[in-house]
Each structure stands twice: as C-alpha cells, then as structure tokens.
Amino acid sequence: MAASMEHKPALPKNYEGIVNLITSAYPSLSPGYQQIARFFTQNPNVVALESINAIAAKCGTHPSSLVRFAQNFGYSGFKQLQAVFQTRLATAAPGFRERISALEGELSRHVGEGNLGFLRDLVVRDIATLQGLLDSVTDEMLTETANLLKTDETIYIAGQMRSEPIALLLRYLLTMLRRKVVLLDPSGGLAHEMSTAMRPQDVLVAISFRHYAKEVVGISDLAAATGTPVVAITDGPLSPLAKNATVLFSVPEDEYTFSRSLAGPMCLVQCIVVATAAALQPGQSAAPHIPTATELARDRERQRGGR
C-alpha cells in the first residue's frame, strides 16, 4: 500500500493569517527575507495595490526575491500571496506610506528645498506616525497597561540607544505619580544584573526599535522567564520584543533612516501615563492630574510645616 502523502497545512487566505505565519517564521528567515517580511507587515496596502516591480524597488530587493519569498511560504508565486493582502482593503485604514504620500502633496506647496525641506519631511513622517497610532492603539491596550503600571510594586524600564530618551521621559512621569521606578541604565554595565531582581508582581516596560538593543531584548527574555509582565513599545509584530509582550504597542515607521523621529513613541508614553493617572484616581470627574516636581516639593514643605 502506497504511503499516504504528508498533510500540508492550508495556506492563510486572509491578512491576519499570513501576518501570523510570517511572524512565527521570521526568526528563521534569511536576512534578505527578513527585510521583505518587515516591509510586507508594515506596508500591507503597498503590497496589495502596487506592481511587483514597484514593490521590489521600495523594498530594496529584486522582483524574483519576492516570488521566492512567496514560494517559501507555500504560495505558487507573488500574485497568490498578493491576493491575500488584497482581502484587507475593504476595511483597511490608510497605510504608513499612503499617509506620507497624501501629506507630502498637501504640504509641499508650502515648503521649498534646502533645510526647510528637511523639516517638512520630518513633519510629514511624524504626522503619519501619529495618525497610525490612532489606528493601532486600542482602549483595551491602554487600560491593561494602566492597570499594570498602577502597581505598588516595582516598574522596571529598559530603553537604550535611540529609545533612551523615551525611557527617561517615562521614568520621570511615573515618578511624578509616585510609582516605584527602576531605570535599567546601561551605564556601568549593570542593567542586566539589576533586571535579575524582577518578580512576577513587578512589570517591565521594554522599548526598542530596529536595530534592536541586544541588552533590552535580553532583559525582555529574562522577564518572560521570571513571569514578569512586559509592556513592549516597538515597531511591529516582528520585533524580538513582541514574543514576550503582555501588551504590545507597535509604533509604525518606515525602514531605517537616520532621521527617525521620537514624536510617535513620546506621544504614546505620555498617553500611557495619563491612562495610569486615571486608573490611580478613580471617580474623579476632572481630567487625570500628573503633579509636577514643584508641586511635590510644595507638598513636602506643607507636610513638614504641619508637624
């Protein structure tokens, strides 16, 4: 009796399915396929609407590589994979590149070339990123994060390289809310050693974007091993922080350029802290209040004067 053919899992027929498939396979892909995977997951409308030659040019690869990428996941060719991306267009919001194109057309008449043109390009990308946050962040994500950060236990924050200013802002704002905060600062080489104190009742906020800080990724892995909840702020589901995330915030952005802005993640961090303040101040009809350092100093003076 002939041996039965090996059963092959059905190919995903919707966008969510193919993104999940790409995400699970991403660590084992070659660097070239990883580059394509990042482009596909961050620019689904481009993949759905444009020709293979145009997509390859924007992705920085050859059209034949896109064909082989599709075949690597079991599709007959690029067209069959592209059809899956086209299924999301009926309800999809504009993608990152579509926002940029629309904004560039709107703003280009106001700005010329030269240094002012550089400013225009930065502003266009910031606006597109901020609009993307409105589509990707949900009320449930913010509520779950706020409930984690209102803890009386320790909040650890890890963010290095480009992400360090974001981590510093988050530490400052949470300190103003009188949370117990530990910044896993890389100076002195003790960040990893400090993170070994994390416990399941604590929480880690891990912040990293491509190219990802190895120490932040390692700290996130350690948190997962110790059962510590992780709030990840990164650039998408293919980030090495995503696999350990209790809550995953994806800040949309293009492939690497030196002029990547911090406007999107800074705005997100401020929103997270406001949501945390609201969770700490239940029943308050006014907007959540985050005290300033001056206010806290005045409170201490009043307390000393009342003794």
pLDDT in tens, 23-64: 888 889 999 999 999 888 888 878 888 899 999 998 889 999
Answer whether residue 249 shows pLDDT above 80. yes
pLDDT of residue 261: 76
State how many domains the chain has: 3
What does the alpha-carbon distance between residue 133 and residue 236 come to, in Å, rounded to a whole number? Answer: 12
What does the alpha-carbon distance between residue 37 and residue 50 come to, in Å, rounded to a whole number? Answer: 16
CATH number at residue 203: 3.40.50.10490
Do residues 252 and 227 both lie within one domain?
A: yes
Structure tokens at 84: 């899956």
Dihedral through CA 213, CA 163, CA 268, CA 293, nearest 10?
130
Mean pLDDT of the chain: 83
Q: Is residue 57 part of a domain?
A: yes
Answer whether residue 103 shows pLDDT above 80. no
How far from 277 is each of 147, 186, 205, CA to CA, in Å? 10, 28, 17
- Are residues 74 and 123 in contact, defined by beta-carbon separation less than 8 angstroms? no
pLDDT of residue 93: 53
Answering whether pTM is above 0.75, one says: no
Query: Three-state SS for 118?
Result: helix
Instruction: List the domain range (segments joined by +) for residue 49.
Output: 15-86
Q: Is residue 291 part of a domain?
A: no
Average pLDDT over residues 220-245: 92
Do residues 233 and 150 both lie within one domain?
A: yes
Q: Among residues 68, 84, 78, 86, which one has the least CA distance to residue 18?
A: 84
Q: Nearest-5° angle of CA 274, CA 129, CA 45?
A: 130
**Residue 206: CB atoms within 10 Å:** 29
pLDDT tens-place string over residues 118-167? 777 777 778 877 877 887 899 999 999 999 999 999 999 999 988 999 99
Structure tokens at 34: 């990883």
Give 69's pLDDT tier (boundaries 50, 70, 90).
Answer: very high
More confident residue, 45 or 110: 45
Q: Is residue 304 part of a domain?
A: no
pLDDT of residue 262: 87
Do residues 184 and 206 both lie within one domain?
A: yes
Give 108's pLDDT tier (boundaries 50, 70, 90).
Answer: low
Q: Is residue 301 part of a domain?
A: no
Do residues 255 and 158 both lie within one domain?
A: yes
Q: Is residue 175 part of a domain?
A: yes
Do residues 275 and 143 both lie within one domain?
A: yes
Q: Is residue 292 part of a domain?
A: no
More confident residue, 184 or 8: 184
Lowest-pLDDT range, 108-112, 222-226, 282-286?
Answer: 108-112
Average pLDDT over residues 259-279: 89
**CA within 13 Å, CB half, 72:** 18
pLDDT of residue 238: 84
Do residues 128 and 147 both lie within one domain?
A: no
Do residues 276 and 187 both lie within one domain?
A: yes
pLDDT of residue 283: 74
Do residues 100 and 201 both lie within one domain?
A: no
Dihedral through CA 207, CA 178, CA 276, CA 299, nearest 10?
-140
Long-range contacts of 32-36 (CB under 8 A, 24+ apart): 32/61, 32/65, 33/69, 33/72, 34/238, 35/59, 35/60, 35/61, 35/255, 36/61, 36/65, 36/66, 36/69
Give 101's pLDDT tier (boundaries 50, 70, 90).
Answer: low
The residue behind tokens 């960040």 is 191
Answer whether residue 281 shows pLDDT above 70. yes
Do residues 119 and 145 both lie within one domain?
A: no
pLDDT tens-place string over residues 175-222? 999 999 999 988 778 888 999 999 999 999 999 987 788 999 999 999
